[in-house]
Amino acid sequence: MRPSVIAGAALVTALGVRIVRSRHRRFLHPDGRSFTGELNVWGLHTGAGLLDRPARHDVTVRISKGAGTKPGRADVLGLVVRVHGPGRDLDLLLSTCGQGRLTRHLPVPRRTFDTLYGSILAYRTGTARKIYLSARPDAPLGHDLDSITAGRITLLADDHPFGRVTFAGGPLPARTDAASAFDPIRNTAPDLHPTGTIHGTRALAYRLSQLWRGAHPAAPAPDAVRRSVAPG
C-alpha cells in the first residue's frame, strides 16, 4: 500500500476518533474561557451598522485553543465576540493569523494570546463592500487560559479601528462556557455577514457539531445562510 494511502487512512481514523471523543464537548476549540463585557464602537464608514454607528453593546467574549494543546504549546487560538442585541445576537469569530499581506488570510498557531486575530475570510457589508475583520489586545492577556481574567481588545475592519471590547471580573462558570453555541453564519446581520460558497459547509458543520455535543444550536436562519453562501 502506498504511503500516501496509509497517511490518508490514518488521518481519517484520527478525525473519526476526535469526533467520537467530542460527544459532549466541542470538536474544535474545546478549551476556552468565556467572559461578559462590553463593546464600545466609535464608528467607521463600511456600510455595516454595527461598525459604523457609535454605541455601547453588551457582549460575551470567548478565548480558546483550537486543538486544545497543553499550556505553553502552540495552537490556533480563537477569539469570539458575541454582540447581544434586541433581536438576534451577532457572532464574530476570529483566529490567530499571520501578519503579512497574504498570511493575514491564513490561520497560524501561536504560543501566546497577545497577538493578532483575524476573520481569515471576508465579510460583506450592506453596500456590497468586502472587508476583513481583525482584533489586537491593547494590554497583555497572558500565555495560558488560566491566567486570563480581564482584557481590553481593539477591533478593526481592514486595519481601521472601529471599537474596543473590555472585560474583567474573571471567567464565567465552566458549565456556562460549555453550553455556549456560537454560529458565525446564522448569527449575522443583513449588512454584516461572511461571504463565499465555503460557508455552506461551515453552516452544516456548526449545526451538526452543536447537536452532536448536546448544545442548543442557533435558531434556523435560512436567509442568513443564503446570504453567506452566495458567491463572493
For Cα atoms 163, 53, 79, give the angle at the middle one, nearest 5 degrees: 35
Instruction: For residues 127 and 47, give the distance between their C-alpha atoms in angstroms, rounded to a whole number.
Output: 5
Q: By CB neighbour count within 10 A (0-12 exposed, 13-18 middle, 19+ buried), where does 88 fall? A: middle
CATH of domain 27-173: 2.40.180.10
Cell numbers that stand for 10 in this block: 490514518
Tens-digit pLDDT profile for residues 194-209: 999 999 999 988 888 8
- Single-letter code of the amino acid located at 46: T
Tens-digit pLDDT profile for residues 108-162: 999 999 999 999 999 999 999 999 999 999 999 988 999 999 999 999 999 999 9
Instruction: For residues 73 and 76, give the distance between their C-alpha atoms in angstroms, rounded to a whole number.
Output: 10
Order of strands, edge to edge, in the sheet holding 130-131? 130-131, 123-125, 192-194
Amino acid 17: pLDDT: 43
Mean pLDDT of 203-232: 90
Cell numbers that stand for 225 in this block: 445562510
Could you tell me which of 94, 125, 80 has the C-alpha nearest to residue 232? 125
Please say if the pLDDT value at position 88 is more than 80: yes
Please say if the pLDDT value at position 4 is more than 90: no
Instruction: For residues 228 and 185, give the distance between their C-alpha atoms in angstroms, rounded to a whole number.
Output: 7
Please say if the pLDDT value at position 22 is more than 80: no
